[in-house]
Structure 1
Amino acid sequence: MWIDILLLAELARGPRHGYELRREVEAATGHGLSNNSLYPRMRQFVDSGAVLRSAEEQEAKPPRHVYSITDVGRELLHDMLAELPEGGADQSREFHARLVNFAWLSPEEQLVVLDAREQALVINRDRVAALAAARVEPWSRRAFDHGIVRIDADRAWLAELRVEILRTAGPSDPRSDEEYR
């Protein structure tokens, strides 16, 4: 789903033809996006009314298709960003696709996404800690301990993001900074 988010977010910045879309998403993610995955997705977006496709004439070449997002597509993008499903919360790409587009979400919605990620990290940390405790081989133990350190660093970073959101949200937000320290 993270690729869908990035495609719609790119279209929300302005109309693009397929090659531009692919190039922008690949540059942002370092992940190759083949025509066999891009164009079926775009066809689904067009069929659902989330994206419009128009032909742009080119001199001495066949017309190229230009895609633009619709109001339905903006609503779909918002809904996809605001919801981090349980299975996706422990996936870095799913989380980061939402995080880089947090400007589309209200502070309350941003906090919901951070909370889902935090829950996934806590579960993962407990799992890795149990594995580390069961290992006596030094290399296995070191690998698991390193995983715990990385998870703890991610959780500390989430706490910083949460505080920043709460500070910028203003007094209308029911949560306080102290609640998340």
Structure 2
Amino acid sequence: MSIRTGLLALLADGPRYGYQLRSDFEARTGATWPLNIGQVYTTLARLERDGLVSRAGADDEGRVSYAITPEGHEEVRRWFATPVDRSTPARDELAIKLAVAVTVPGVDVAAVVQAQRTATLRALRDYTRLKAGAGTGDRAELAWLLVLDSLVFAAEAEVRWLDHVEARLARAAALPVPATSAPDRERAAQAGEPVR
């Protein structure tokens, strides 16, 4: 999610200063993606520079509130109307780790998969407990439940994918190993790796 448009959408509810925006953002997302207050104020400065927010005054303590402009409302409308782009997937550290692990000699890929499965199942259990304890009393709780649902579904999908990885590794292990060329055998022997 774009922090920029998320904060802008919060300002559509009314003027706020930076700490209020950070608190509202974290409350609506269950603090799943905590924001650094410096990031909030840097984002507000950029939004102001781009004409999407303007300063709405300061309170008695000197905190400057920001209000959304008509251009900002249009930006939020476009954001909500535009589907999230899935054509460029986000980097998935686990997929990268496993892709590299299967190519690096000496890595026990099955152990990597099992360690991740254990961690993912633990996270899934924690998310499920949080869901059980959450109410549906107001919009903020509903927002948090939607985030929790997303985390649960992502964890469940990851466990299914890890099962698939294990099955694929088992099928690959059953395939005949191609003969190693003489230069490759020599390099493997020098590295202390098994030669096939």
TM-score by length of 2: 0.45
Higher helix proportion (structure 1 or 2) = 1
TM-score, length of structure 1 as denominator length: 0.48
Question: Which is greater in Rg?
Answer: 2
